[in-house]
Amino acid sequence: MKALEFRGRKRTKELLSQIEREIPERRVKVMHVCGTHESTICRYGLREALPENLELVQGPGCPVCVTPTERVDEAVELSKKDGVIVATFGDMTRVPGSSESLVADGKNVRIVESIEDVVKMETDKEVVFFGVGFETTASTYAPVLLEDHEGFSFLSSVRRIPPAINFLLEECGADVDGFIAPGHVSVITGSEAYREVVDRHGKPVVVGGFEPLDVLSSVLKLIRSIKGEGKLVNDYSRAVDEKGNENAQRLIERAFKVKDSSWRGLGDIPDSGLELKNEENDVRKKFDLNIEKDKTRPEGCICEEIITGQSKPDDCKLFAGGKCDPRNPVGPCMVGSEGMCNVWYRYGGT
Contacts of 272 (CB under 8 A, 6+ apart): 159, 160, 163, 164, 167, 260, 261, 263
212 binds another protein (CB under 8 A): yes
213 binds another protein (CB under 8 A): yes
To another protein, the closest distance from the beta carbon of 49 in angstroms equals 4
The piece of 20-28, 41-49, 155-163, 296-304 that touches another protein (CB under 8 A) is 41-49
To another protein, the closest distance from the beta carbon of 337 in angstroms equals 5
The piece of 56-64, 118-126, 192-200, 339-347 that touches another protein (CB under 8 A) is 339-347
CB neighbour class for 94 (10 Å; exposed up to 12, middle 13-18, buried from 19): buried
287 binds another protein (CB under 8 A): no
CA 202-197-171 angle, to 5 degrees, is 95
The piece of 3-11, 19-27, 58-66, 126-134 that touches another protein (CB under 8 A) is 3-11
The piece of 1-9, 127-135, 237-245, 312-320 that touches another protein (CB under 8 A) is 1-9
Strands 267-276 and 152-159: antiparallel
Size of the site for another protein (CB under 8 A): 25
To another protein, the closest distance from the beta carbon of 308 in angstroms equals 25
- Please name every residue paired with 155 in a beta bridge, in sequence order, or none if there are none: 130
Name the residue nearer to another protein (CB basis): 73 or 211: 211
Q: What is the DSSP string of 206-273?
A: EEE-SSHHHHHHHHHHHHHHHHSS--EEES-TTT--SS--HHHHHHHHHHEEEEEEEETTTEEEEEEE
Question: Rounded to the nearest 10 degrees, what angle do helices 212-227 and 9-22 cross at?
Answer: 20
Alpha carbon 339 to its chain's center: 8
**299 to 328, contacts with another protein by CB under 8 A?**
325-327
Binding site for another protein (CB under 8 A): 7-9, 12-13, 39, 42-46, 48-49, 212-213, 325-327, 337, 345-350
